[in-house]
Amino acid sequence: MGATIRLTFPEPDIAGLVFDTPDRGANVLSQPVLQELDEHLSELERRTDVQGLVISSAKPTIFIAGADLREFASSLDISDEEAEAICRRGQTLFQRLARTPFVTVAAIHGVCVGGGAELACWCDRRILTDHPRTQIGFPEVKLGLFPGWGGTVRAPRLAGLGNAVELITSGRSLSARQAVAMGLADQFVAPEQLEAAAIAMVRQEAQSGRYRQDRETRRGSIAFSETELGFLGLTASAMIRRETKGHYPAPEAALEVILEGSQLDEDAAAVREAKGMARLFGSPVNAALLNVFFLTDRNKKDRGVDSEAEPAEIATVGVVGAGIMGSGIAAANLKRGFAVWMKDASTEALERGLRQALEEASYDRETKSASAAKLAENAPRLNAVADDADFSICDLAIEAIVENEEIKKQVLPQVESRLPETAFLASNTSTIPITSLAQSLSRPERFCGIHFFNPVRRMQLVEVIRGEETSDETVATAVAYAKRLGKMPIVLRDGPGFLVNRLLLPYMNEALELLLDGVSIDEVERAAKAFGMPMGPITLYDVVGLDTALYAGQVLWNAFPDRIAVSPLLSRLVKAGRLGQKSGAGFFRYSGKKNRPEPDPEFDKILSDLLRERREMSREHITYRLFLPMLLEATRVLEESLVRDVRDVDLGLIFGIGFPAFRGGLLFWADQVGAATILKQLEEIAYLGARAEPTEMLQEMARTGSQFYSRGMVP
């Protein structure tokens, strides 16, 4: 690899350091790059003819994307002392930007986060472009860390203590306008004006000398009374705990370091930051969140096929079905610039779906309503199908009708017959095998599953399901299309329930079995949330809809009758019309404006008739029953080669059902526990029979000491 930093002189007395990592789309601060920066600064500091330095990037949408996380991952087992030394070296290097004999300006276009934001903050001034892709922030808490190269020191001294606390503990990024308003940046300009504005700022600062005064001020502590400091600490800590539920230690650790560092001088605050960062580096949460980063990074680059098949271009999309899923899919397409043709058997449902899709696609977060400008932009691209012939201009059609195999087999051939022979057809089914649906089609090689999750606007995961005759071109096209929608597609071989629902059902099913064994709803919900799930499985039943869960469960009960318990409780609730939130009652009762779940004596009566002899269980035992059957099913998925890579299992569960990211994914978590330990845990629930029977894969892993992530598939 060649040099990353190019020394230029846009004007004879103004130097420029231009970051441009060869053969990579992003600039990252690896150790060799930091060494380059050190050498360039040493050269410039020796010169007497330099009035200022402008730091910029040659990348089209990225300034600096932060530290090299692969270097981080390879050194997670270093000591606290070694981690602290790494932080101190970075701090000392960046500190030189605030102590040079000339003014320093960061000219930022594109993404500037993590270590890149810290480098920028050590400069005397920061200018950002107003381009939509330009942002600045400190996302380190999302990796179980906080800024360790001076971010907790400089951000409070630039943007104010309260602003810095919110920015660093949340991990959110700011637009150029927000950064200037907060004080983190000094100016924003159009991209084409960036270099001229930076040079002008150097001239202005060199003449006024104001940057020297600011340097002196920032080297001291921050004036903040003890009362104000205590109040900020209490309120921020309460907000952090409400958000993290105690599972993510980095935000609270960052808060402590920021507050303590604010009352120290700059040098002492940097030392405090390095010591605090070292304690988090390499922790289980840090390792798990790094794994999630690598999962998503791999997914961005994955084409979905191992052949050279190229994706076809998709411009116009047909959506069959105007219900919740159909309108959500249509909205997602509109937002990304696709033309959409929408059809439904019901005229009323179609009108409603068209309206919902348009409003959702045109939603403005700032006004919290549909934007008139976006409505005007999106409306011409959304069309109602008056005649099936309208599908003749579609490159892709997605069926999103009722989850009934026979009805789908009637509708799909009708749609296919109207599509061009070059077009692709997909089903949004969540459980029905694609190969079965393809039997009624003339071109099964151009058919696949594209399973979106509800609500489409929020859920990033998309399952792309390959039927027995699905071609590589079809899969590659579906993957590329899903990525254009801003989604994370994972490619699966065909099978009942695909991946996410197949692994979710054992967890959900076991929750019902626990209720029948006399465990209370509260005990089940608390165990799941203590493990880190966003909501308990009983609440999830009510959110999904008990009738939907019953139908999906039947598909898997038929496929795996030996290990899926048919729950009489679920059937009885559905027969009673208790379908969950949508009917006002399920496991809970829903009433009032906020529609919050409340205990329901009527449910207790239904449950009481089905109760078995009560088993006394600890929370740990309940946790085993909820999550070990899910893990066993994951090993079966791997044995069947349903996924192309073990990492797709973890990505699917994190972004499909909210499996806790701080555990790194189901298989990553299992690797930390160890196969031998998991076998011992399974012995405690062996009374469940086939549901808790160890698979050959797990037993072999225990014998050999191998791990899921040691199968040649780690980043």
Catalytic residue annotation: 451
DSSP symbol at 381: G
Distance (Å) of CA 217 to CA 98, 101, 207, 504:
12, 17, 19, 56
What sign does the dihedral 156-162-165-171 (CA atoms) show? negative
369's CB contacts (< 8 A; 6+ apart) are 363
Question: What span, in angstroms and rounded, lies between the C-alpha atoms of 442 and 156?
Answer: 64
How does 401-423 read in b/e, with b if 16+ C-beta sit within 10 Å?
A: bebeeeebbebbeebbebbeeeb
Token pair, residue 696, equals 């050959």
Distance (Å) of CA 292 to CA 63, 115, 401, 647, 685:
23, 19, 33, 9, 30
DSSP symbol at 539: H
Write out the H or E segment, with its range, that includes residue 688: none
Cα–Cα nearest to 229, from 256, 191, 199: 256
Write out the H or E segment, with its range, that includes residue 681: helix 675-684
Output phi, psi for 226, to 5 deg.
Answer: -60, -35
Neighbours of 79 (CB within 10 A): 11
Distance (Å) of CA 156 to CA 153, 168, 275, 684:
6, 10, 18, 52
Residue 92 · residue 113 · CB < 8 Å: no
Question: What span, in angstroms and rounded, lies between the C-alpha atoms of 646 and 671?
Answer: 12
Residue 360 · residue 434 · CB < 8 Å: no
Residue given tokens 């922790």 in the structure block = 283
Distance (Å) of CA 563 to CA 560, 568, 569, 601, 691:
6, 16, 17, 31, 5
Token pair, residue 500, equals 């996410």
Residue 469 · residue 444 · CB < 8 Å: yes
Q: Which residues pair with 184 in a beta bridge?
A: none
Write out the H or E segment, with its range, that includes residue 711: none
Question: What span, in angstroms and rounded, lies between the C-alpha atoms of 466 and 412?
Answer: 16
Q: Where are any strands of DSSP class E within 459-588?
A: 461-466, 488-493
Question: What span, in angstroms and rounded, lies between the C-alpha atoms of 439 and 409?
Answer: 8
Cα–Cα nearest to 663, from 623, 700, 713: 623
Half-sphere exposure of 280 (CA within 13 A, CB side): 28
Residue 402 · residue 361 · CB < 8 Å: no
SS (H, E, C) 224-249: CCHHHHHHHHHHHHHHHHHHHCCCCC
Question: What span, in angstroms and rounded, lies between the C-alpha atoms of 440 and 435?
Answer: 10
Q: Left if phi > 0, otherwise alpha if psi is -120 to 50, otherwise beta: which for 57? A: beta
